[in-house]
Amino acid sequence: MGSERTKGKAEEIKGSVKQGVGDMIGNEQMEAEGYVEKSEGQFRQEKVKAEEQAKGAREETEGKVEGFVGRITGDEETQVEGKAKEHKGKGRQKAND
């Protein structure tokens, strides 16, 4: 996760710089290429965020199910593990808003 997000941020910054330099020197092609690189970097970051949000939603749901099973069966350990997984999933989603 981190490395793809970092690559995306680096690509976004590189593109912004290239776009700015192209604008300053009046090179429309360089400016356009910079814009494209910046946009691709932003897309890469958003893709990682979406993947992490989906993973968090899955963990949250699995945790709710596990906690429910623990309550039904009277297994406190399973109940606690389910609650922990549910909170982990919520945290992952919040971290990727």
- pLDDT digit string, tens, across residues 8-52: 999 999 999 999 999 999 999 999 999 999 999 999 999 999 999
Positive/negative CA dihedral, 72, 73, 74, 79? negative
Q: What is the pLDDT of the chain when averaged over all its residues?
A: 95
Q: How far apart are alpha carbons 24 and 53 in whole angstroms? A: 39
pLDDT at 67: 96
pLDDT at 1: 53
pTM, 2 dp: 0.77
Residue 88, SS3 per DSSP: helix
